[in-house]
Amino acid sequence: MLTVTSPHKALEYFENKLEFTIDPVGLNEAIKNREVNIIDVRDEKDYKKGHIPTAINLPRERWDTFEGLTHERPNVVYCYGITCLLSTKAAKEFSLNDFPMMELIGGFEEWERRGLWIER
């Protein structure tokens, strides 16, 4: 059963969502403007099959290295798709270590579905 939630909590949630997420079209523009650092947290074999341009592969077993992350601009993290929580977990872990983080809505599947350029 659905419950009525606080409008103030909802406002806070949606403001935060807008601040810490980006959609594929927005990310594509940010790539063109060199405004972001992109981190792909999928398995290396999947990364090699295709990834978002300029993305650095940092699978879970290497998160503790922080390889490829930067403090100078937002790090946009992504995983497989909308139901994959790996990028959320990575963003949390990296944020705990003072890296500015955002998450790509829909992950690689949404990027690909929109027909955006894929590096191979």
Please report the pLDDT score of residue 5 as a whole number: 86
65-78 confidence digits (pLDDT tens): 999 999 999 999 99
DSSP 49-111: H-B-TTPEE--GGGGGGTTT--SSSPEEEE-SSTT--HHHHHHHHHHHTT--EEEETTHHHHH
78-113 confidence digits (pLDDT tens): 999 999 999 999 999 999 999 999 999 999 999 999
**pTM for the whole thing?**
0.92
Q: Of 74, 67, 58, 66, which Cα lies nearest the Cα of 94? A: 66
Please report the pLDDT score of residue 3 as a whole number: 85
Contact between 82 and 106 under an 8 Å Cβ cutoff? The reply is: yes
Please report the pLDDT score of residue 36 as a whole number: 97
Please report the pLDDT score of residue 72 as a whole number: 96
Where do the domains of the chain lie, and which CATH numbers do they carry? 7-113 (3.40.250.10)
31-42 confidence digits (pLDDT tens): 999 999 999 999
**How many residues does the structure list for the chain?**
120
- Tokens linked to 21: 């997420």
